[in-house]
Amino acid sequence: DGWIFTGGNDAVTDVWSAGRHMVREGRHIHRERIERRYAETLAGIMARI
């Protein structure tokens, strides 16, 4: 497991799950959507504090 946790950013470039290509060239295929939803959620939390 040292290789997994100490490798560089290019240690894993592609991931397939259940026949679907989920990570391509090191980027999750839904990265933009995930980032947008994260920002929206964080903004909602911050607005309540």
**Number of independent structural domains in the chain:** 1
Q: Residue 22 corresponds to which tokens in the numbers above?
A: 């989920």
pLDDT at residue 3 in the model: 61
Looking at every residue in the chain, the average pLDDT score rounds to 90
Write out the H or E segment, with its range, that includes residue 37. Answer: helix 31-48
Structure-model confidence comparison of residues 26 and 4, the more confident one: 26
> Can you give the C-alpha Rg of the chain in angstroms?
15
Domain that holds residue 44: 2-48
pLDDT at residue 4 in the model: 62
pTM of the model: 0.67
C-alpha triplet 38, 1, 30: angle, nearest 5°: 25
Distance from C-alpha of 26 to C-alpha of 22, rounded to nearest angstrom: 10
**What is the mean pLDDT of the segment spanning 21-34?**
96
Distance from C-alpha of 14 to C-alpha of 48, rounded to nearest angstrom: 38
